[in-house]
Amino acid sequence: MIIPLEVLDDDVLQGLLEEYASRDGTDYGDHEVPLQSKVDQLKVQLKQKKLVIWYDEKTVSTNLVPAHQALSADDGVL
């Protein structure tokens, strides 16, 4: 299920984006990128609707996914 960006409190959104940006496997290349820069980049992509916040009811987890992937999901499952 897509969670609209507008329904999240600023602190909740910040925490979600920080957690996502600091996960293993989020590699930004050869140069170290500060966490807040990563969060800012994610916010831009969310506002541009390139990414969406996806809540998976089965795993009770939240993730960021490409919008086209979420919109093409069958039965609300990615």
Alpha-carbon distance values, 76 to 2, 3, 28, 50, 66 (Å): 9, 12, 30, 18, 14
Global pTM exceeds 0.75:
yes
The pLDDT assigned to 45 comes to 97
For 12-30, what is each residue's pLDDT tens digit? 999 999 999 998 665 666 7
For the chain, what are the domain ranges? Answer: 2-23+35-71
Can you tell me the mean pLDDT for 37-66?
A: 95
For 57-73, what is each residue's pLDDT tens digit? 999 999 999 999 887 76
Mean pLDDT of all residues belonging to the chain: 87
Q: Which two tokens stand for residue 2?
A: 């897509």
**Strand order through the sheet with 51-56:** 2-3, 51-56, 61-66
CATH topology of domain 2-23+35-71: Arc Repressor Mutant, subunit A (1.10.10)
Closest CA to 53 of 39, 45, 65, 44: 65
